[in-house]
Amino acid sequence: MTSSEKQLPLSGLRVVNFGREWLGPVAGQTLAFLGAEVYRVESQIRVDINRTLPPFGGGVRDHNRSLQNHAGWAGNGSITLNLKEPRAVELAKELVAKSDVAIENFGPGVMEKLGLGYEALRKTKSDVILVSMPAAGLTGALKNVRTYGMSLSSITGLDSLTGYADGPPVPMENAYADPLGGIIGAFAVLLGVSYRERTGKGQHVDFSQQEGIMQMMTPAFMDYALNGRVAGPIGNRHPLKAAAPHGVFPCAGEDRWISIAVSELEEWDGLVAAMGKPEWASDQAFASLESRVENIDVLHEKLAAWTIGFDDAALADKLQEHGVAAAPVLNVADLLNSPQYKSRKTFIEVDHPLGFRETIYGAYVKTSRSNIDVKPGPVMGRDNGHVFQDLLGLSEEAIQELIEAKVIF
Amino acid sequence: MATDGAEAVSGALEGIRVIEMGEGVSAAFCAKLFSDYGADVIKIETPKQGDKTRRWGPFPGDVSHPEKSGLYFALNTNKRGVTLDVSVPKGREQLLRLLEDADVLIENNLPKKMKAWGLDYQTLSAANPDLVMISITPFGQTGPYADWNAVDLNAFHLTGTGSRYCGRPGEAPLQHGTFSAEYYGAYTAVTWGLACVLGRTLVGGGQHLDVSCAEAVAATFVGAQNIGGYAQDGIYDKRTGVGMSLAAPATILPCKDGYVWMIALETAQWKGIVKAMGDPEWAQIDLFDDMFVRAQNADMIYPLLEEWTMQHGKQELMDMLQGNGCPATAVYTVAEAADHPHMKERGYIVEVEHPELGNMRVLGAPIHLPECPGGPRRPAPLFGQHNEEVFCKQLGLEAVAFEELKSEGVL
């Protein structure tokens, strides 16, 4: 390995992460994967809910063993500061002064109340980049809205499109918006860094989670803007009716499915050939894309009657051989056994310092030059020694005193 | 930078030169995030039909027209557009000249196609070692599915999201009603890609980023909260059709005029709901202060909550619940989300003049940078609109040669 290969793209970028729950830590993790030195600030005073969720490593209920969330937090360092204590706030500010970026996902005004608002941080470091990631932005009528990632999706309109065609909305049972928002938050950081590299100026960046997720709604928004139409749930259908079939079809076995999408004529011919040219497929009702879209319900019924006899993976292979866009629908267990993810080392096993093995996700983007190093989930306060002693220059006695006073806590 | 009467605003990514060559949502959205924040993006389309989103619409009055697709318009703001057939030697040569001076190439073609065109990373990096090549495909550049024909739907359902989190048991797993894996992949790609652009000096040059839309979601969303437990204990959950299994309430409930997302994880949030309901007797059980206990009794709690929500409107419920410290929200339709006064106050929906569509509303920049605001300012390019500007003025192609490429169908 040459020396440059050891460097990562963001090596040398120091980030103080006041983020919490799922989104904030993912923002820090994304930057850390790429080489940034990230310190997450947390406290025993109010342990983050994500540290309390089962299952736990080795079945031992402990804030440092929540497997569910180690993957999402891996890469973040951790220091413990009880920000209700003025001395803790001062230490946080000192750390920011020695860093490039601070990120947070509290509601608007919380950082100010803690004494860590943009103006306060700017006094300690004039070109600081503060990235705020509130639910609906720092300004506007909805700025104080409280959400989790799941309820956040509903004020973007996304949930109103999710459900079986023409039925009621069906809840997405976890917060898609959280890890995605964390990744977008990391992009927000890099926009700030990019501008500062060119001009030397820092700024207070306002990333609205609502607006970030709303971008995904663009097809429905444009139809509303152009035609005044208000979309409802569309199931697995193409958002702009540009394909048919376009759905998920049952296969042999319990809860086994295959996704199939056909838009081009060659793909339709491929599907018909794969099915052994059944008579129904030559019906005028399915002769063109337009007519297939129009008769999509009947088409899907016919197709489902055919797919149900096949193994999902074998059928996907067969359809791919005929040039048809098809893939098995995976469940959680399949993720770990999928030849595709195995081959790409999507999930990796690492040794946790507390003495158990845990499976987390690795570098989910492959970079040809940089060797991404993935660490296990952080133990609370893992970096206290390094940060307070090496970076901030406190003596061991001073640190001990702060621990006893529950400032470092 | 391009003309078209754009204001001189210094964007965060000013000075970065990007070439985009792809079809559909993922590459275009990734490149839009570059162009909306100030990078100079040239979009390359095939001379025959152009990007397939030109055929997808939505169109005004549902009348198909390649210059009037709403999705194409929204995905390509602030870009310059050229047409080029990179599958023929003369077209490939023009592309290579463009890439010589580019910082970034964003593409979403299948790896076998790029290879067949002689446009694999090895070839391109030899010509420009500082190039950051961002490939965004459904399944990535490697692995048995790398060259599979696939669209957003196939990628999405390879992530486990539908099977685990969306749909009723016994019925099909569901996708969001949009291209959600491609959007996720594009956001992932722009973040990692920009880091690699900024870090070129540090790491000694450009590199190839291999982004799989399916992998990004499977890892960071489903994997994050399920893989550790499954690997350790060998058990896993599936969709319930109702909501989160570890907590209640955490579901969509109907109300008088639509739906609300009803969620309370912490005790205080649950107490907020109870208070908003007027402290009914059934909710006074202390055990219900625990979200796990509530989850175990969801069958009982949900119908009782629904009885209450059905008496109120969605906004009224949201206001009452939020007022009591509960993070429940109204399930807004696209119209309710877009027309909310909040959006106007924040200037999130912007208007851009397009020669064929007229004055168009489009979603603005989700990241607000006070020093260098981004967002759509120029409309999406017309088909081949910047051919002359790019090939003649920028690359110095002679007028005769330009006409020849045009008549041969290369441009």
- Nearest CB among A147, A240, A248 relative to B327 is that of A147
| Residues in A 143-182 with any Cβ partner in B closer than 8 A | 143-148, 150-164, 168-174, 176, 179-180, 182
Residue partners of A42: CB distance under 8 A and separation at least 6: A20, A48, A78, A79, A80, A81, A380
Tell me which residue range forms the domain holding B279: 250-332
Are B27 and B110 within one domain? yes
Task: Tell which of A222, A293, A321 to mutate to test the B interface (max B CBs under 10 Å).
Answer: A222
Are B69 and B187 within one domain? yes
Are B169 and B305 within one domain? no
Are B312 and B373 within one domain? no
CATH number, position B186: 3.40.50.10540
Could you tell me which chain A residue has the CA closest to the CA of B33?
Answer: A187
**The residue count for chain A:** 409
Task: Tell which of B9, B125, B191 to mutate to test the A interface (max A CBs under 10 Å).
Answer: B191
Are B132 and B190 within one domain? yes
Residues of B with CB below 8 A from A329's CB?
157-158, 162-163, 173
Tokens of A190: 């890099």
Tokens of B130: 């500082």
Query: Residue A376 has what pLDDT?
Result: 86
ipTM score here?
A: 0.98
B341 falls within a domain? no
Are B359 and B212 within one domain? yes
Are B366 and B326 within one domain? no
B332, B363, B387 — which closes off a domain? B332
- Closest C-alpha to A256, from A324, A351, A354, A331: A331
Query: Residue B246 has what pLDDT?
Result: 83
Q: Show the DSSP H helices in B57-141 as ranges.
A: 70-75, 89-100, 111-116, 121-127
The per-residue b/e assignment along B35-59, b for 16 or more CB within 10 angstroms, e otherwise, is bbbbbbbbbbbbbeebbbbbbbbbb
CA B406 to centroid of chain Cα atoms = 34
B47 falls within a domain? yes
CA distance B130 to B125: 7
Nearest CA distance, A400 vs chain B (angstrom):
33
Partner-chain contact A369 B254, CB within 8 Å: no
Residue partners of B279: CB distance under 8 A and separation at least 6: none
- Closest C-alpha to B367, from B8, B6, B11, B7: B11
Nearest CA distance, B234 vs chain A (angstrom):
8
B4 falls within a domain? no
Residues of A with CB below 8 A from B145's CB?
327, 339-340
Stretches where chain B sits below pLDDT 50 are 1-7
Task: Tell which of B220, B353, B359 to mutate to test the A interface (max A CBs under 10 Å).
Answer: B220
Q: Is the Cβ of A340 closer than 8 Å to some Cβ of chain B?
A: yes
Q: Average pLDDT for consecutive 10-residue bins of chain A (409 residues)?
A: 69 97 96 97 94 93 90 92 98 98 97 98 98 98 94 95 95 95 98 97 98 98 98 97 98 98 97 98 96 98 98 98 98 98 97 94 96 88 97 97 97
Partner-chain contact B158 A263, CB within 8 Å: no
B339 falls within a domain? no
Are B325 and B381 within one domain? no
Are B208 and B99 within one domain? yes
B235 falls within a domain? no
Query: Residue B4 has what pLDDT?
Result: 44
B332, B367, B383 — which closes off a domain? B332
DSSP E strands: which ranges in B196-303?
208-212, 250-255, 258-263
Nearest CA distance, B402 vs chain A (angstrom):
32
B144 falls within a domain? yes
- Please give the backbone phi and psi of residue B190, each rounded to the nearest 5 degrees, phi first: -70, -35
pTM over 0.95: yes
CA distance B83 to B95: 11
Query: Residue B245 has what pLDDT?
Result: 83
What does each C-alpha distance from B128 to A336, B44, B182, B205, B290 come to in angstroms? 38, 19, 28, 9, 59
Task: Write the DSSP string, A249-262.
Answer: EE-SSTT-EEEEE-
Domain total for chain B?
2
CATH number, position B259: 3.30.1540.10
Partner-chain contact A332 B226, CB within 8 Å: yes
CA contacts within 13 A on the Cβ side of A310: 21
B396 falls within a domain? yes
CA distance B133 to B109: 12
Are B190 and B276 within one domain? no
Query: Residue B9 has what pLDDT?
Result: 55
Tokens of B121: 């990373």
Residues of B with CB below 8 A from A221's CB?
74, 334, 338, 363
Query: Residue A68 has what pLDDT?
Result: 81
Are B89 and B199 within one domain? yes
Q: Is the Cβ of A39 closer than 8 Å to some Cβ of chain B?
A: no
Query: Residue A5 has what pLDDT?
Result: 54
Number of helices and strands in chain A (H, E)? 18, 12
B373 falls within a domain? yes
Query: Residue A147 has what pLDDT?
Result: 93
Are B278 and B363 within one domain? no
Q: Show the DSSP H helices in B264-379 as ranges.
A: 267-276, 291-296, 298-309, 314-323, 334-338, 341-346
B302, B332, B362 — which closes off a domain? B332
For the packed helices B89-100 and B399-407, what is the interaxial angle rounded to 10 degrees? 130
Tokens of A218: 């663009």
CA distance B193 to B191: 5
What does each C-alpha distance from B363 to A55, A155, B164, B346, B350 come to in angstroms? 40, 15, 31, 11, 6
Query: Residue A378 has what pLDDT?
Result: 87
CA distance B285 to B41: 60
Partner-chain contact A186 B29, CB within 8 Å: no
CA distance B230 to B239: 15
Query: Residue A375 has what pLDDT?
Result: 84
